[in-house]
Amino acid sequence: MLEVKDLHVTVEGKAILKGLDLTVQPGEVHAIMGPNGAGKSTLSAVIAGKDGYEVTQGSILFEGQDVLEMEIEERARAGLLLGFQYPIEIPGVKNIYLLKAALNAAREARGEGEIPAPEFMKLVREKSAEMQMDPSFLQRAVNEGFSGGEKKRNEILQMLVLQPKLAMLDEIDSGLDIDAMKVVANGVNSLRSADRAILLVTHYQRLLNHIEPDRVHVLVDGRIVKSGDKSLALELEARGYDWVLEESVA
Amino acid sequence: MASEEMEQLVRREYKQGFVTDIESETVPPGLDESVIAFISQKKGEPEWMLEWRLEAYRQWLKMTPPSWAHLEYPPIDYQAISYFSAPKKPEDRPQSLDEVDPKLLETYEKLGIPLHERAALAGVAVDAVFDSVSVTTTFKEKLAEAGVIFCSISEAIREYPELVRQYLGTVVPRSDNYFAALNSAVFTDGSFVYVPEGVTCPMELSTYFRINAANTGQFERTLIVCDNKAQVSYLEGCTAPQRDENQLHAAVVELVALEEAYIKYSTVQNWYPGDEDGKGGIYNFVTKRGDCRGDRSRISWTQVETGSAITWKYPSCMLRGKESIGEFYSVAVTNGRQQADTGTKMIHIGEGTRSTIVAKGIAAGRSDQAYRGLVKIGPRAKGARNYTQCDSLLIGDQCGAHTFPYQEIGNSSATVEHEATTSKIADDQLFYCRARGIDEEDAVSMIVNGFCKDVFQELPMEFAVEAEALLNVTLEGSVG
């Protein structure tokens, strides 16, 4: 589904990713872990198409398509969706309006018509309830005045409505208390399916107690230096990152 | 995206630019007392009106154009302007749409304002101003039933001279400013509204202004009077055909609200802004002022300004009546080389008067705009309150936004609040929307419309929809 090969990325002339390889199959949940500054968020930002990241070498394929040739919105419509670490506030734009515009953009790209209003309302109500969000959130401006936890839940709500093929969640656990984390994790878990993949970018292992990954990768200094199953995450939790680094240098 | 590409996108043809060739009866360019006499005679005006005009003209001769605005334009040659233009045979004005020149109806069609449909569907009485003479007026009967007078100012001068004489020039005196004096001397048409005591006008009143004959400045004069406890909502919308020369527009709008009266005046302005170098656009120097003369009266200005090469406009409220209310809600959008210096004045004179100012400025391309607002609290305005919020949004990095708030507080019991922000349309907002699959243009329009929401919600429903559409056209391609 997603194939990242020998990816080199610079930001303002500084090399951040230095030959990253990653393959994700449908149905899998991958966790990218690593110390601060290793390039974790850069990876998801580059896949989503954020400005300011220069790919100097390598390729990203999504279902055989060259992602780097696609506009940001084309990537999203193709089913590559990024959940933000710091969701953006858009004053005056209703949450429900953004959701509807996004959903219809994706449907249009698939050659489907606009979603009928009653169907949309039903869908959104259902998904908000799943995220334990009061329907009043839908009428509020996008992320404006939301608490940290509310913003993260809102990101997952968008995922539940838009049903991406590959959901990338950047530090979705940061700033969440344990109850909010459970709600978010339940939302993510409900996204799991045989034809969908999930890429979790996280600094801490605790999220992985709630969302069990199939693969865990350790990203250090722009490269994936170690991959394993969920037990690797526990090992990182117990021992920190230094030993992986030493191992990779050796 | 590269700046050249951005430039390309910003360039767009004015969608509503075309000239209808209805023959005009036009005086040669130039202004002197004989031209004013000609206008007055053409309009069949009484002697006092001519005198009133001539007095304005003599005052104008002694005045100089204002130079304090944050605008740049070459000096205007007032002798190069033709001061009268009317569709042929103004006496033979059509009594129904069937009699209207099909070319004119075609013009409205091109503008997306099918007059008959609009009038019928929206239930709006339309006083269509084509060049300087009102060509058709609808729904007059329904208004007459309610006792509301809605007609052209020329007709009002002939038919209701005592009403006009009582109020004309009492809100904007002839010598108020250079452009108001010029307008007073040469105004050719505009609307007159009188709503009698206790009457709520049964429909929203609407006028579409057009500028058409080449080289002809348009000098509209609008006077709206709401008697005690009367209410009216007036909608003004403008578009204009494309042309080469700069066109001067110097309108005057006067509103009078007596005791407990409420006047809501909404404008959507979409005049030709000029080509990408700013050439050929309309110069819009307008004086709009409302007088809350009666106690607990209320005047509300809502404007969406997207057109014109130059906009110089400060709809204001004189809050004389006790506990009277003045409101100003504005969205000004500039793109290309447009310049706008706009804002409001809230003059608190009476006790317990209140005013609200919400001004949103959006600058794109190489445009430049300024918000200029005066809040003046007089010594007798005990307990007066003002709230001002002005926000600017910049799109791209070649445009500018400036804020000039003035406050003159003449007594210590007043409360004056001012909030101002300037922000760039944030890359991260755009990225966020696009990363949800929304294309860039839609994302920009979504963000900008969100920014303007506080003002749009003050507009009558149909106008709000029009305003959003206009905003999108104006900003089309402004982000690369």
Q: Which of B209-218, B288-297, B332-341 ranks highest by mean pLDDT? A: B288-297
- Spatial contact of B383 and B354, defined as CB atoms under 8 Å apart: no
| Contact residues, chain A, for B433 at CB < 8 Å | 90, 98, 101-102
DSSP tag of A116: P
**Residuewise pLDDT in 10s, chain A (250 residues):** 999 999 999 999 999 999 999 999 999 999 999 888 888 999 999 999 998 999 999 999 999 999 999 999 999 999 999 999 999 999 889 999 999 999 999 999 989 999 999 999 999 999 999 999 998 999 999 999 999 899 999 999 999 999 999 999 999 988 888 888 999 999 999 999 999 999 999 988 888 999 999 999 999 989 999 999 999 988 888 888 888 878 876 6
Q: Is B12 strand, coil or helix? A: coil
Is residue B453, in this structure, part of any structural domain at all? no
Q: At B61, which amino acid appears?
A: L
Q: How far is B442 from chain A (nearest CA, A)?
A: 9
Q: What is the pLDDT of residues B314-325, one digit of tens each?
A: 999 999 999 999
Predicted confidence at residue B21, as pLDDT, reads: 45
DSSP symbols for A135-148: THHHHSEETTT--H
How far is A241 from chain B, CA to nearest CA, in Å?
31
Question: B213 by DSSP, 3-state: which?
Answer: coil
8-state DSSP, B477 = T
Please compute the mean of the pLDDT values over residues B184-213 and round it to a whole number.
79
Q: How far is B1 from chain A (nearest CA, A)?
A: 10
Cβ distance A162 to B446 less than 8 Å, yes or no, reads: no
- A77 in contact with chain B, both atoms CB, cutoff 8 A: yes
Of B437, B447, B453, the CB nearest to A105: B437
Tokens in use for B286? 């307008």
A-chain residues near B426 (CB < 8 A) = 88
Q: What is the pLDDT of residues B65-81, one digit of tens each?
A: 888 878 888 888 888 88
CB contact under 8 A, A102 and B438: yes
> CA-CA distance, B338 to B469, in Å (whole number)?
19
d(C-alpha A157, C-alpha A186), whole Å: 11
Domains and their CATH numbers in chain A = 2-249 (3.40.50.300)
Check: CB of residue A248 under 8 Å from CB of residue A42.
no
CB A42 within 8 A of CB A53: yes
- Identify the contact set of chain B against chain A, taking CB-CB distances under 8 A: 426-429, 431-440, 442, 446-447, 449-454
Strands A65-66 and A54-62: antiparallel
| The residue type at B395 | I
DSSP B392-418: EEE-SSS-EEEEEEEEEE--TT-EEEE
In a domain, B437, yes or no: no
B108 pLDDT more than 70 = no
Predicted confidence (pLDDT) per residue in B220-277, tens digit: 899 999 999 999 999 887 554 444 455 788 899 999 999 999 999 998 877 777 766 7
- Quickly state the pLDDT bin for B1 (edges 50, 70, 90): very low
- B362-376: pLDDT as tens digits: 888 888 888 889 999
Q: How far is B428 from chain A (nearest CA, A)?
A: 7
For B282-308, what is each residue's pLDDT tens digit?
888 899 999 999 999 999 999 888 877
Q: Check if A106 contacts B (Cβ < 8 Å).
A: yes
pLDDT in the model for residue B116: 45
Q: Which domain holds residue B16?
A: 3-424
Report yes or no on B434 lying in a domain: no
More confident residue, A73 or B126: A73
Do residues B252 and B172 lie in contact, with contact meaning Cβ atoms separated by under 8 Å? yes
The structural domain count of chain B equals: 1
Domain-embedded: residue B41? yes
| DSSP for residue A238 | H
Best of A51, A70, A90, A151 to disrupt the B interface (most B CBs within 10 Å) is A90
Question: Is residue B43 assigned to a domain?
Answer: yes
Give per-residue pLDDT as tens, B234-243: 988 755 444 4
Residue B430 is assigned to a structural domain of this protein: no
* Rounded Cα distance, B341 and B179, in Å: 15
Query: How would you label B97-127 residue by residue, b for 16+ Cβ within 10 Å and e otherwise?
Result: eeebbeebbebbeebebebbebbeebebbbb
